[in-house]
Amino acid sequence: MNRGATVAQAHDFTHQYAESEDGVTFVLLHGTGGDEYALIGLGNALDADAGVMSPRGKILENGSPRFFRRLAEGVFDMEDLVFRTHELADWIEAAAAEYGIDRDTLVAVGYSNGANIAASMLLLRPETLKRAILLRPMVPLVPESAPDLTGATVHIAAGASDPLIPLKESERLADLLKSYGAEVTFVRQPTGHQLVNADIAAAREWLQHITNA
């Protein structure tokens, strides 16, 4: 996945890009304090031949990059969340066009803050991407207009003892996405906020299932 990778300030997002060798391209969305390199290893573990579009969140919280502002732990600045969701979706669409990537081949892989903005894109901009791996997510917002998520496929991984994302929040997100037509798999790990090998194994199995379908 590191072959030919470059860092560029394209479309106003600093990002990492690598071309796909198997027709799958990950949109890697890091958690708070991460950057465009943070999930490269995770992407390699999921599919070493997949391409990469990995942007760095523009918001800084005490110097730590994020994808949108929050007012407190688990309390989001909703106006900023909506703005940043559309901003990121616009970037994904423009960057995919610039790199010549079919958006049907995109798979969002988001962790924590990155998982939440990926979920927000599914709810507000469902046309941008249809496949997502959401690791430790919660409900970012409930949209005013119901999106049509028919054909969307989502894998959610929650931590049963996550002190930052209550399990019920991840379960609520799964139910919300299903109510709009998405096909959702939900995996609960006996752990906290940090990812474990079982998270990667379950996500890899899900990915192989949808890409071989």
Catalytic residues: 112, 162, 193
Beta strands in the chain (DSSP E): 6-10, 13-18, 25-29, 51-55, 59-61, 64-66, 70-72, 75-76, 106-111, 131-135, 153-159, 183-189
Question: 130: phi > 0 → left, psi -120 to 50 → alpha, else beta; which?
Answer: alpha
Of 105, 114, 129, 126, nearest in space to 51 by CA? 105
118 near 89, Cβ under 8 Å?
no
149 near 121, Cβ under 8 Å?
no
Of 150, 163, 153, 213, nearest in space to 186 by CA? 153
